[in-house]
Amino acid sequence: MHTKSWTRIFSVKKLMKDMCECFLDLGSGSTAELNATPPTDPSETHVNVDGSISTEVGFTAAAPEITKLPSTSIGNDPDKQIEQNGFANMESESLPVVSNNHSAADDAEDVAKGQESLKISLVNEVNSECPPSFNYIPRNAVFQNAYVNFSLARIGDDNCCPKCFGDCLTSLKLCLCALQSGGEFAYTTEGLVKEELMDECIKMNRDPEKRCLLYCKECPVERSKNDEILEPCKGHVERSFIKECWLKCGCNKQCGNRVVQRGIKHKLQVFMTAEGKGWGLRTLEDLPKGAFVCEYVGEVLTYSELYNRVSQSSNKNEYAHSMLLDADWGEETELKDEEALCLDATHYGNVARFINHRCYDPNLIEIPVEVENPDRHYYHLAFFTTRKVKAFEELTRDYGINFDDDDDDHLVKAFECKCGSRLCRSIKPSTSKCVLRIYIFFLFFASNL
Ligand SMILES: C[S@@+](CC[C@H](N)C(=O)[O-])C[C@H]1O[C@@H](n2cnc3c(N)ncnc32)[C@H](O)[C@@H]1O
């Protein structure tokens, strides 16, 4: 324990790396701090809410409501072909619409193509870049090997609240679903995540040093590498779950413990960021703290399926749109391949694929939400606001990237962060901090001579 905390405070490798960066900085006379662009003040942004744009749009036709996606040969081939179930024809016939014609304008008016209860517009007032081509899906869809079984028979009476009626939130007795959300209802009667739960989630996410990590006995991430020697698990952040009422519960559809399953309820817009982060997502209305914004939707893949996609791809940033469903990893002795799941929104996804990263103090946080599946291998990743958010503010989340390390296992590869946070993790240390670190470095070596 003592050694662990000492290595956390003093990492020789990190110190050497910082020193090299500092020497380079001193030589060039520039620091990332000086280069960091502050985020645009939302109040100064001119927004075209009606969705009219001057760009071309390249969205493909939306996927039908399916729970199984066909096998795809997605990889480094830009002309990806979908091989089975006649999807190849559907794709090539409707792909891609890249012109300033009527359907492009329609796409800009509603990125979701009518599949959400609200239209989600798209604007680009910064450059002439076209939005990426992807299939909008409002709900997760299983790709191939992932084991996701929504059978009612799998939900035991202690995994739902069959004896409840009406609205569980207003009932005097705590329902069985609430007991699985840490012993209380996660939501207020206004449909917001309760303050205490939100603050606990923020604390768990904010400081990587204080995160509680769960370790798998045999980690699917390491297993996928197929190396001769299986590396130990690097750990998965422990998270609080929300359990929502569902089909087998006795309450009605309007029950206050059903929020994420109702879908997007606040007006959102995809827009081109001015800071060079590419496309981003913003709210068009003021949001209170704890409000549900959207869930991260994509193809449900096993980790090894995702690993194969990434390793076959020549563009290492292509899979920046994927997230692990690892909140439960490390709880069991051994996780089977088909139970170690992740979401990939690269080719099929929803608006969440546009959410950019902000270090330390983003205005969104992801919380695992259990709706259909009692085993927690599969769950929904839902984004809620961490504070009040003003209309036209960009919505951001912390990807959990450590810009210092060459973290090869992270699905999103490190980029030059332009989040503008005062506590941005990719900002190199200032000259004074640098001098101090050099001093500590020499002290350390002197004391070891
Ligand atoms: C999930 S995508 C987010 C949407 C993306 N901006 C787009 O145009 O599709 C993640 C990618 O967005 C970019 N990005 C996200 N946050 C950023 C940040 N704070 N600074 C710079 N680039 C960022 C990086 O290229 C990253 O790999």
pLDDT by residue (tens digit) across 185-196? 999 999 999 999
Cβ of 356 below 6 Å from ligand 1? yes
pTM: 0.76
Lowest-pLDDT choice from 164-173, 209-218, 344-353: 209-218
pLDDT digits (tens, 9 = 90+) for 376-430: 899 999 999 999 999 999 999 999 887 776 556 666 778 899 999 998 988 765 5
329 Cβ partners below 8 Å, 6+ apart? 214, 216, 219, 220, 236, 335, 340
Ligand 1 atom 10: the closest Cα is on which residue? 320
H/E element holding 302?
strand 298-302
pLDDT in tens, 219-246: 999 988 877 888 899 888 888 999 999 9
Highest mean pLDDT among 5-9, 35-39, 82-86, 168-172: 168-172
Residue 78 confidence (pLDDT) above 90: no
In angstroms, what is the span from residue 37 Cα to ligand 1's centroid? 15
Q: Whose CA is nearest to atom 11 of ligand 1?
A: 320
| Dist. CA 60–CA 151, nearest whole Å | 32
| Single-letter amino acid, residue 377 | H
Q: How far apart are CA 376 and CA 71, in angstroms?
A: 25
Residue 85: the pLDDT is 28
Q: What is the pLDDT of residues 7-58, one digit of tens each?
A: 344 455 555 555 555 444 444 433 333 333 333 333 333 323 233 332 223 3
Q: Whose CA is nearest to atom 7 of ligand 1?
A: 279
Q: How far is residue 231's CA from residue 225's CA, in Å, rounded to a whole number?
A: 9
Estimate the crossing angle of helix 12-28 against helix 431-447, to 10 degrees. Answer: 140
What is the reported pLDDT for 241? 94
Please identify, by atom number, the ligand 1 atom nearest to the C-alpha of residue 412. Answer: 27
Please tell me if the CB atom of residue 418 comes closer than 6 angstroms to any atom of ligand 1.
Answer: yes
Show Cβ contacts of residue 102 under 8 Å, excluding neighbours closer than 6 positions: none
What separation in Å is there between the alpha carbon of 361 and the centre of ligand 1? 16
Whether the complex's predicted ipTM is more than 0.85 is answered with yes
CA of residue 244 to ligand 1 center, whole Å: 31
Give the span between the Cα atoms of 19 and 441, in whole angstroms. 9
